[in-house]
Amino acid sequence: KAGGGYVPLDPAYPVERIAYMLKDSTPAAVLAQSATEALLADVSV
């Protein structure tokens, strides 16, 4: 009802797949745990 969405990103996915999913979903924000934040280092959000 709030107009939000949830896109789960499995850290086991290849970085290219994660980048594609983020580009395709155009999120306003991304929440990541410190253990997996390195996966997003080269991804522009």
| pLDDT 10s digits, 22-42 | 999 999 889 999 998 888 888
Query: The domain containing residue 31 runs over which residues?
Result: 7-40
The answer to whether residue 22 sits within a structural domain is yes
Alpha carbon distance 1, 10 (integer Å): 26
Alpha carbon distance 2, 13 (integer Å): 29
**How many domains would you assign to the chain?**
1
Give the pLDDT confidence score for residue 45 in this predicted structure. 73
The answer to whether residue 33 sits within a structural domain is yes
The answer to whether residue 2 sits within a structural domain is no
Give the pLDDT confidence score for residue 40 in this predicted structure. 87
Give the pLDDT confidence score for residue 21 in this predicted structure. 94
Give the pLDDT confidence score for residue 44 in this predicted structure. 80
> Mean pLDDT in the chain?
89
Give the pLDDT confidence score for residue 4 in this predicted structure. 85
Give the residue among 29, 34, 33 at the shortest CA–CA distance from 45.
29
Whole-number Cα distances in Å, 36 to 1, 22, 24, 28: 29, 15, 20, 19
